[in-house]
Structure 1
């Protein structure tokens, strides 16, 4: 009886030891399994973005390999408009109101400085010219009186006071005559009659606009013609503020339109945004002595960008063809050639540079990238990710 009591007392202890032994074995078995799972995750991350392809598969897919370019700050291609050079364009206006009785130049014709472009007939012109004639007569009379007083004073017949008065009157008459001539010059030139006034060209150039017709009555300061010296023209561009920060006076601009091409130079980058468009106005000067560019013509401008580095140096700027860039999961990537295929490299992009794009980070510039048909690699990458999720 006593022996049985001892046996029952030892049973719970034996069971506990057995359970402990079983639990310890389960824990030891779980550790290697967890290590294997972690290793699989690490291998999956290591293979992320990798695409394995043979050379035959790459050729069959039409994927062309190109090397990333280093150096050159790139260009920015955008639409632009040809304008007349602001320094070489003049508005010819009527200084007085009246009726247009002559128009001596048509659109496109050349003019020289001082050439009479139009003749205006008006009462005001008659008054201006009449004052010139009257002041000329008064000046002639004053000069005659002065000569007589000088002669009488020399003969000691007339007192010095009369000579001084005659000299003063002659001076005043000369000033009045010069003022009358100045008023006529400010209004125009001779028009062939007392009541007619000619309007002269202020510069040499070409007539690019005519705002009146023969017989029309115009007000003072009304525009009659617009004359431009088109040996050089302006190129008007509008840039995003981020791009304008990399454009400076002196930067080259390649202008193309309808089989024509020429080089221009940036002369002005506005320090303020246009209130309507919120863009930065930029002006470039274009040589037009050959007459191949027309005011108002729409063209394409390729603006040379200045590097963001110190001193404007272009070294170290990495560029790739625009066709090499794809978007994967909302991020820009470039497929870099590896020994076994390609690796999708996330990149940070800069400005478009015509057919290429600047890569701010993600590439060193020594890589070979998929430049053509890179979208097939994007599709292949998507298949691999889908299989991995399954």
Structure 2
């Protein structure tokens, strides 16, 4: 009885030692009678799994869905899930210096709509935030001054037409020796004076903001519309300011609307002295905002004069904003490249996922995707260097890879007991 008790105690002690010290060499384990652990990467279920339990490898080495990091997906399913696949390539890691910045509307894409003369607001057709095309009517003023200018122009055109008719008649009579040359010369002078008055009237209306088409259409418009002055958008964009109120008086040269094309924004930066030598006009910058907002732009202006007190330099970068995701007035961070380092294998940041504490990527194969653990090296704002586990040319999921991680977790949960 005592002997059996001692043997049982030794066995339990050996099991405890094997558990606490899993790294004991196999030879030592055999010498002292400790159990040998399964090989690294071997599935516990692979050791003498009873037939017909449904959880082993299929014949021919095919993998079940989600088993050992395998995900079966057809090309149609990959496309429907929005998963982007690309071959891994060498690349360049870029070290960057972070500079704070403020977004603003590009001064090249802003316009102020002013009243060229005083009047009363009779219509307001656009308001704050409205998208407008170039030439759209924003508001209508009624002005006595514009009515006088239009009336004088129409009168001048009629006088000019009559003077041209008189000149043609006098020229014919003079050629026929019926009238004197002096009468012909007087008619020609009168016609020239009339044409000058028409040109002056047209220039005056243009100064009030009327287009050539509007001036040409005046003769066909009713007299009641002569006092109307339409304020039009000079550029396409969005209404960012409105000072027009129906029935309110507007003074000459008053700003009535502001329109800005926000499809492109400026990033205004103050570059500190230590980073000024690395900045240059035309340089590409990475701009980041709240959350995952990011965009690439270029420096379009770098001041040649430093601030006398701080020795910093003012710079302006331009970024695209076609979808309106960025808002003028917001704070951002601009990342200026300071150094470049070539690497053999570079993957996008979104391609790398974390599974059970390990960094992994999803490699494309004929059946779908296979999880592969990788060792990462250096990194930048866009990607990681892979130092082990992946070769250039291998196709991996580079977009929406997190959905594969979710699919893997779901598949493994379905196989768990």
When normalised by structure 2's length, the TM-score is 0.53
Secondary structure of the 2:225 match is coil
Q: Structure 2 CA distance, aligned partners of 1:205 and 1:181?
A: 29
Secondary structure of the 1:245 match is helix
Q: Structure 1 CA distance, aligned partners of 2:262 and 2:333?
A: 20
Report the Cα offset of residue 275 of structure 1: 7.8
In structure 2, which of residues 305, 315, 318 is the aligned counterpart of residue 272 of structure 1?
305
Report the Cα offset of residue 120 of structure 1: 1.5
Task: Provide, for residues 233-267 of structure 1, a one-character-per-residue CA deviation record: whole Å limited to 9, x for no partner.
Answer: 21111122342232101212111223221101111
Q: Structure 1 CA distance, aligned partners of 2:276 and 2:194?
A: 60
In structure 1, which of residues 77, 87, 101 is the aligned counterpart of residue 108 of structure 2?
87
Structure 1 residue 135 corresponds to structure 2 residue 168: no
Structure 1 residue 221 corresponds to structure 2 residue 263: no
Q: Residue 292 of structure 2 aligns with which residue?
A: 259
Conserved 8 A contact 1:139-1:173: yes
Q: Structure 2 CA distance, aligned partners of 1:77 and 1:178?
A: 58
Q: Residue 13 of structure 1 aligns with which residue?
A: none
In structure 2, which of residues 169, 175, 183 is the aligned counterpart of residue 162 of structure 1?
183
Q: Structure 2 CA distance, aligned partners of 1:120 and 1:199?
A: 8
Task: Provide, for residues 255-313 of structure 1, a one-character-per-residue CA deviation record: whole Å limited to 9, x for no partner.
Answer: 122322110111101123468987422111111222222222222222224x6xxxxxx
Report the Cα offset of residue 157 of structure 1: 1.1
Report the Cα offset of residue 198 of structure 1: 1.1
Residues 277/219 of structure 1: CA separation in 2 closer, same or farther (3 Å cut): farther
Q: Residue 203 of structure 1 aligns with which residue?
A: 235
Q: Structure 1 CA distance, aligned partners of 2:296 and 2:138?
A: 34
In structure 1, which of residues 296, 305, 318 is the aligned counterpart of residue 329 of structure 2?
296
Q: Residue 233 of structure 1 aligns with which residue?
A: 265
> Matched residue pairs, number?
242
In structure 2, which of residues 73, 89, 96 is the aligned counterpart of residue 75 of structure 1?
96
When normalised by structure 1's length, the TM-score is 0.56
In structure 2, which of residues 92, 110, 118 is the aligned counterpart of residue 97 of structure 1?
118
Structure 1 residue 184 corresponds to structure 2 residue 205: yes
Q: Structure 2 CA distance, aligned partners of 1:197 and 1:228?
A: 22
Report the Cα offset of residue 185 of structure 1: 1.9
Q: Residue 26 of structure 1 aligns with which residue?
A: none
Residues 183/243 of structure 1: CA separation in 2 closer, same or farther (3 Å cut): same
Residues 123/235 of structure 1: CA separation in 2 closer, same or farther (3 Å cut): same
Residues 299/211 of structure 1: CA separation in 2 closer, same or farther (3 Å cut): farther
Q: Which blocks of at least 5 consecutive residues in structure 1 are unaligned? A: 1-70, 308-313, 317-352, 355-390
Report the Cα offset of residue 206 of structure 1: 1.9
Q: Structure 1 CA distance, aligned partners of 2:107 and 2:309?
A: 21
**Cα RMSD after superposing both structures:** 2.8
Conserved 8 A contact 1:244-1:269: no
In structure 2, which of residues 132, 142, 150 is the aligned counterpart of residue 111 of structure 1?
132
Q: Structure 2 CA distance, aligned partners of 1:275 and 1:91?
A: 33
